[in-house]
């Protein structure tokens, strides 16, 4: 159990059997009445974000999460297989569970899989990944002056807007949170 004064962004709470991660919180002390804590919580299973208010000093149960470093091995089309780097235990996760993160998974990549009560509830990718540009249109001389972008298909199938000077076969760094081009690798 944790007190509302111990709230921090990223903490996962067990509220009524649902795992909720604190995205944002604010302590409010109105001129009249008792203080309270206004929070934005993200459901770990559905991804829905909701606002919830707690009285100051209220105790809430903190979820016990186990984060394991795992290596992505391969995909059979629908399921993705990961191996624990400590115990060499293999876990299969569905493509639906992983969601858009499949666009940034490369074989042998290290990721963190989040477990609660022995069940996988989340997947944390590195903040950025290096991927090879598989296909893009050729830049036209003079286009780089404007700082424009063009779409590029990466080795994993993801499509990212890249600057005009990037060519097919180059390795680029992509932000996994936003899907944006960061720099050449």
Question: Where is pLDDT greater, at 146 or 10?
Answer: 10
- Domain containing residue 52: 2-60
Q: Are 52 and 72 contained in the same domain?
A: no
Identify the residue with better confidence: 142 or 6: 6
Q: Are residues 46 and 85 in the same domain?
A: no
Bigger pLDDT: 33 or 47? 33
Report the distance separating Cα 150 and Cα 161, nearest Å: 5
Neighbours of 56 (CB within 10 A): 14
- Please indicate, yes or no, whether residues 120 and 142 belong to a single structural domain of this protein: no
How far apart CA 135 and CA 120 sit, in angstroms, is: 34
Answer whether residue 120 shows pLDDT above 70: yes
Q: Pick from 60, 77, 110: which residue ends a domain? A: 60
**Is there a contact between 158 and 174 (Cβ–Cβ < 8 Å)?**
yes
For residue 61, the model assigns a pLDDT of 85
Please report, for the domain that includes residue 54, its CATH number. 2.30.30.30
Please provide the average confidence, as pLDDT, over all residues in the chain: 82
pLDDT band at 41; cut points 50, 70, 90: confident
Task: Give the tens place of pLDDT for each residue, 125-153.
Answer: 888 888 888 888 876 655 555 667 788 88
Q: Give the total number of structural domains in the chain.
A: 3
| pLDDT recorded at residue 27 | 86
Q: Confidence band (pLDDT; 50, 70, 90) for 4? A: confident
- The average pLDDT across 17-39 equals 84
Q: What is the mean pLDDT of residues 45-72?
A: 84
Are both 111 and 81 inside the same structural domain?
Answer: yes
State pTM to two decimals. Answer: 0.66
Task: Give residue-wise pLDDT tens across range 64-111.
Answer: 888 888 888 888 888 888 888 888 888 888 887 787 888 888 888 888
DSSP letter for each residue of 116-156: ETTEEEEEE--SEEEEEEEEEPPPPTTGGGTT-EEEEEETT
* Domain CATH code at residue 79: 2.40.50.140
Length of the chain: 185
Same domain? For 115 and 94 the reply is yes
Dist. CA 184–CA 146, nearest whole Å? 19
């Amino acid at each position: 159990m944790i007190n509302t004064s111990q709230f921090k962004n990223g903490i996962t709470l067990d509220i009524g059997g649902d795992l909720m991660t604190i995205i944002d919180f604010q302590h409010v002390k109105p001129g009249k009445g008792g203080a309270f804590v206004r929070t934005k919580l993200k459901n770990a299973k559905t991804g829905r974000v909701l606002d919830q208010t707690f009285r100051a000093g209220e105790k809430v149960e903190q979820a016990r999460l186990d984060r394991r470093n795992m290596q992505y091995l391969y995909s059979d089309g629908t399921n993705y297989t990961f191996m624990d780097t400590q115990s060499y235990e293999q876990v299969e996760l569905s493509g639906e569970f992983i969601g858009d993160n499949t666009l940034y998974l490369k074989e042998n990549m290290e990721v963190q899989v989040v477990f609660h009560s022995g069940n996988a509830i989340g997947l944390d990718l590195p903040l950025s990944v290096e991927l090879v540009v598989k296909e893009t249109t050729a830049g036209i001389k003079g286009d780089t002056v404007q700082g424009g972008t063009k779409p590029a298909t990466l080795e994993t199938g993801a499509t990212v807007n890249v600057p005009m000077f990037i060519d097919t076969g180059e390795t680029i760094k992509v932000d996994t949170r936003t899907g944006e081009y960061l720099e050449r690798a």
